[in-house]
């Protein structure tokens, strides 16, 4: 399991390093933390951000899928270790379509209705939808297509950067944690 976790986290880090709109990698670790987190890749933005671009959101999806893509490449199988990553990537893709108006068919249209709380509109969309079955089908198909395309993109990048993926995973297996300076050094040495 440690090897799978090491490659999984290395996959996130390598994809982040080569995704233009991704935040820089500050630390990668295979030391378990919190509930269910078997390792982590910490990315920290260079500056405070109040709005997020479409490219930034798509880059986040790429990075989230990088862990599973690395498992697939190295072990020719996938694990449940990516379940939180998949949930988060799917949520980003869904919100791009339903909340942010970032789809071809519903560009500039919000498909979710905000619930009215005591203090005004809620930050979370209501669970009840206000659109037709055909619209739900479009949303589901668009999410699935986006996730598949970005998974393939992450996998292709990792195949191209396989030497760095291997080097980082081996470093994680040996030292358990790689900081930003060491990660940059590894990137430049491969």
pLDDT digits (tens, 9 = 90+) for 41-80: 999 988 888 899 999 999 999 999 999 999 999 999 999 8
pLDDT in tens, 71-127: 999 999 999 888 999 999 999 999 999 999 999 999 988 888 665 555 555 555 555
Neighbour count for residue 59 (Cβ, 10 Å): 20
pLDDT of residue 110: 87
- Cα–Cα distances (Å) from 68 to 74, 86, 139, in that order, read 10, 9, 23
pTM for the model stands at 0.88
Catalytic annotation, residues: 9
| Backbone angles phi and psi of 103, in degrees to 5 | -135, 160
Tokens 């982590």 belong to: 40
Strand 25-29 to strand 177-179: parallel, antiparallel, or no bridges (unpaired)? antiparallel
Dist CA 109 CA 121 (whole Å): 17
Question: For the chain, what is the domain count?
Answer: 1
Looking up residue 94, the CATH number of its domain turns out to be 1.20.58.760
Range of the domain at 9: 2-189
Q: How far is CA 178 from the centre of its chain?
A: 20
137: Cβ contacts below 8 Å, ≥ 6 apart: none
């Amino acid at each position: 399991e440690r090897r799978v976790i090491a490659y999984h986290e290395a996959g996130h880090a390598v994809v982040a390093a080569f995704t233009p709109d991704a935040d820089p990698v500050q630390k990668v670790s295979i030391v378990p933390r919190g509930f269910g987190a078997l390792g982590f890749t910490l990315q920290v933005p260079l500056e405070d951000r109040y709005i997020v671009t479409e490219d930034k959101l798509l880059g986040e999806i790429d990075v989230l899928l990088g862990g599973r893509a690395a498992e697939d490449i190295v072990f020719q199988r996938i694990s449940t270790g990516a379940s939180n990553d998949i949930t988060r990537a799917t949520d980003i893709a869904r919100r791009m379509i339903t909340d942010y108006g970032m789809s071809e068919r519903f560009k500039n249209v919000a498909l979710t209705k905000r619930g009215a709380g005591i203090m005004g509109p809620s930050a979370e969309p209501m669970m009840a939808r206000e659109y037709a079955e055909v619209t739900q089908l479009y949303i589901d198909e668009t999410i699935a297509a986006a996730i598949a395309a970005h998974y393939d993109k992450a996998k292709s990048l990792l195949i191209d950067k396989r030497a760095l993926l291997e080097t980082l995973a081996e470093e994680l297996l040996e030292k358990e944690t790689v900081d930003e300076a060491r990660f940059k050094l590894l990137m430049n040495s491969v």
